[in-house]
Amino acid sequence: MDLKPEAVSKVTVPYVLERKLHGHKLTCITAYDYPTARLADEAGIDVILVGDSLGQVVLGYDSTVPVTLDELLHHTRAARRGSRRSLLVMDLPFGSYQVNDEDGLHAAVRAVKEAGAEAVKLEGGRKRAALIRRLVDAEIPVMGHVGLTPQSVHAMGGYGVQGKTLDSAGRILADAQAVEDAGAFAVVLEGIPRELAVMITERLRIPTIGIGAGPDCDGQILVFHDLAGLTFGAPAKFVRRYASLGEAIAKALADFRHDILAGDYPSDGESYHWPSAVREQFEKESLRRP
Ligand code: KIV
């Protein structure tokens, strides 16, 4: 198989697994709407994740906890319409799989059937192994997510880096291994020391996708709004800003407002006009008016 991105017209789960075997990095980004998904797809990004980070960067929630299944389905449908080549993955939100595995299976079926997702992502390791097996048995590819798992913010007591002691590192390694053994095709490693990410990446056969986990993972993912500079607080240490869209949009809005107030927008060139015949007729008829 020619694994060069330009040689592959559709990113599939087997292709993602092949890339690790051949030592090629995977490129991943979040997207929640048609234009962003389309731009990511056309840029040759391998995996588009409709992440539950939607809650914070698009919907204005404080955390990912309040995000609902319906919200994720709605945004996944929009991203689906924008993506063709990339593999489209939908996050299962908090509450859609924690009560019982049956709920998780129903949520994942809806992601695939109603929103066009090609895989789902869920957080947790050993605790989620049975659910991952169930989804894989139902022909739904699963991406795992271990380390800093934002849906557990209350249990973790915040968003601190995980796996800083040998004990906790061992637990995260066991979680990643459980995700692989249960049949997941990839696993996100979030917010862990680089050394631990190296160890997990070397031990697993499935690709590791890092976010705040150093450069040695098999792939990298960032939240689109972080990369594009479209967030409001200070970015986390691992974020590299590739654009300053927030500043560009703020300037565009200030200029627009200024031009309206100054009477400069719209100009005559930005206005519609009658055809000349109608204009002439109007002028003649107005002359006749008393
Ligand atoms: O929701 C999300 O954006 C994620 C990524 C950070 C991996 O889970």
CA of 225 to the centre of ligand 1 (A): 11
Give the confidence band of 179 by pLDDT, cuts at 50, 70, 90.
very high
CA of 165 to the centre of ligand 1 (A): 24
CA of 123 to the centre of ligand 1 (A): 10
> What was the pLDDT predicted at 127?
97
Question: Is pLDDT of 168 > 90?
Answer: yes
CA of 269 to the centre of ligand 1 (A): 45
> What was the pLDDT predicted at 1?
64
- Report percent pLDDT > 70 for the chain: 97
To test the ligand 1 pocket, which listed residue (50, 121, 142) has its Cβ within 8 A of the most ligand atoms? 121
- Report percent pLDDT > 90 for the chain: 95
Q: For ligand 1, atom 1, which residue shows the shortest CA distance?
A: 51
CA of 190 to the centre of ligand 1 (A): 9
Q: From the alpha carbon of 51, which atom of ligand 1 is closest?
A: 1
Question: Is pLDDT of 51 > 90?
Answer: yes
Q: From the alpha carbon of 30, which atom of ligand 1 is closest?
A: 3
Question: Is pLDDT of 238 > 80?
Answer: yes
Average pLDDT over every residue of 182-209: 98
Average pLDDT over every residue of 97-104: 98
Q: From the alpha carbon of 150, which atom of ligand 1 is closest?
A: 8
Average pLDDT over every residue of 244-263: 98
| DSSP state letters, the chain | ----GGG-SS--HHHHHHHHHTTPPEEEEE--SHHHHHHHHHTT-SEEEE-TTHHHHTS--SSSTT--HHHHHHHHHHHHHH-SSSEEEEEPPTTSSSS-HHHHHHHHHHHHHHH--SEEE--BSGGGHHHHHHHHHTT--EEEEEES-GGGHHHHTSSPPP--SHHHHHHHHHHHHHHHHTT-SEEEEES--HHHHHHHHHH-SSPEEEESS-TTSSEEEE-HHHHTT--SSPPPTT------HHHHHHHHHHHHHHHHHTT-SS-GGGS----HHHHHHHHHHHHH--
- Domain ranges in the chain? 13-243, 248-288
> What was the pLDDT predicted at 286?
83
To test the ligand 1 pocket, which listed residue (64, 162, 208) has its Cβ within 8 A of the most ligand atoms? 64
Question: Is pLDDT of 290 > 80?
Answer: no
> What was the pLDDT predicted at 113?
98
Q: For ligand 1, atom 6, which residue shows the shortest CA distance?
A: 223
> What was the pLDDT predicted at 277?
97
Q: For ligand 1, atom 4, which residue shows the shortest CA distance?
A: 51
To test the ligand 1 pocket, which listed residue (27, 30, 65, 149) has its Cβ within 8 A of the most ligand atoms? 30
Average pLDDT over every residue of 143-168: 97
> What was the pLDDT predicted at 39?
98
Question: Is pLDDT of 2 > 90?
Answer: no
Active site residues: 190
State pTM to two decimals: 0.95
Average pLDDT over every residue of 27-56: 98
Q: For ligand 1, atom 8, which residue shows the shortest CA distance?
A: 51
- Classify domain 13-243 by CATH architecture: Alpha-Beta Barrel (3.20)
Give the confidence band of 6 by pLDDT, cuts at 50, 70, 90.
confident
CA of 9 to the centre of ligand 1 (A): 25
> What was the pLDDT predicted at 7?
79
Ligand 1, residues at Cβ distance < 6 Å:
30, 49, 51-53, 91, 145, 188, 190, 211, 221, 223
Average pLDDT, the chain: 97
Tens of pLDDT, residue by residue over 258-278, are: 999 999 999 999 999 999 999
